[in-house]
Structure 1
């Protein structure tokens, strides 16, 4: 959530940066400023009348002690007016606070200065490409056919058990999943991340804290009987561990990693581009979350991007890095890098990670603060990144490593799988 003080003092800059996002509800900015002015004015009136009422009550007590009952009763009769005025003002305050909150939460984060203008994913900026795209044989198969050929992923069985988008991993397919999870967690630990195991069900406050609510409730699975949501990513519970906390500056950077299954409804996702593992309702992911000093967050964003790339390099997968344009970054993000891996059999790039800096957007909702060197409270900066999401990594491993003999397991995973080949 944007800070009202920044909006109030930098109206033109806020509008300019929202235009980079192609945000089309710019009138909300002035509406939020107007409601803030009304709120502050009403609070001043309420506090003034409350002070007058307190002073009157004190005066009544003094007069009664002095035996001036008649004058005290006269002031007491008028004191009822203070209560009536306060009641009206407090009701007005409640309505204004609700309306102000409803409006300000509709404003997305402001894009960072390096975010390129653009409307769609086609306008994203290619930062770099790494590795050579392999030349696959003419009879190369897409991963869903390889999965069936070697009986390692069963999409139809998943439909039987749950529905489309819930595959069943079998035999070496299941072991490959587990190998990747353990490899990613071990790599994160070696890079200073503390592993945590978190709930996969969250309450509404947690969803609001990281920006999923009220923006993405339609994309999350909801457990109505308990008023809980299945997590779309471990970012949500891990970041919410620090909701309402006052952190110590000397503890920065705070680095956590977590493996969880993730759940996304992906409503309206149909067609060949979502076939097989390309888009699922349930998938596994290892997530990185950092909470840092505001002065360091963009340096940390670059470090996280480099780290995710190192995983792809160790898996020997060709990839590219994109800086998302204003029209493609998420609601809560100030800047995002996407990492995409080349799918040789599908002849297209598949997103496998997003690394984002949220600046104070999440921490303002979470009230995650620290005391600065001047003794004043400040909002921390939050960042997160996938390291990595498994489905498309598995898809590309299967496709890029297929041979006549079978599928070669990346060398770095062999100690985790216990086998070199899927055949």
Structure 2
């Protein structure tokens, strides 16, 4: 299939430079997923699902697979920064593209704040807000210097995190504290709880979107993106399943649901207190990896929306030397730094999940419009993905649903006012 050139939006500016291959794209996807999933979303998901946690993980993985497949086919067709903002605009119309982009930018900005606070809570619990702001400033500077430097740093982070997780799994499973009976599904597992857990865990799987939103910086995107996304998702699922099973067998679903540092608690329960500082350091590094990739993705969607003047057009500038959307990156970094001082981590996860599920609902609806010649996935994939996104979004905690729906409605009002102003 021949990939068309990136569609030029009404305010398209200079193109970004294609520097990323399959390996770098996979690593960026891993970096944005693993930190969020293991160290931020596992405990609240266990609190919702109880002994049904693994069912929630499996359901989240199915929806994520459908979303990833739809996104990969669309990204190969439209290799341009912006992800589903571009796909919705091209396949469904300007409003749906705008709504997807709005949901992504707002939801993922909250994710950035959650990850920054996760860095702070593990690195220096008494000064988590200050550490969070420093982390945001530092990683914004890394992204400003160019996407290759971001990819290099992400490689290091992913390697460190995988080594730490492997150590936790090995120590816990070989300890006398491991009890496979804790994996059984009890009466505490309800359908609503499992669905809510799946919605919260979806926060942990959504990182493969970074690969699609970097479409304009990927070499040979028609081949690279459809390969990189499922590889990153598959590796992440294996890691999540291994860690979730390990932690459940050592501390059980009740303790996991109440834990603020579940992997550290598991290492302590397994009789390896010396591993706890290593786990804390690994958690901080993992959250840094997620934050790095999140800022990267949000700034690219901001760039795409600014090109089309849905956001201030000044944010569409591309740096002449570093070939990055430097104004968008600085703006995103500034907003995240402010949020890092004010938001709650668990609330941010639910709010982010709602916005990103809305984003992927548009992606699946867009994939349904592809023809076989354009690489449409099997029809069941986007249908299941679309239905799954809607169900999981409204299964989230009520506060997250109310806030997320209000923010999407605000975005729709802003769009309508802008259209009216343009016509006048």
TM-score bracket, shorter-length normalisation: under 0.3
Give me the TM-score of the superposition, normalised by structure 1. 0.22
Larger Rg: 1
Question: What is the TM-score when the length of structure 2 is the normalising length?
Answer: 0.22
Higher relative contact order (CA 8 A, sep 6+): 2
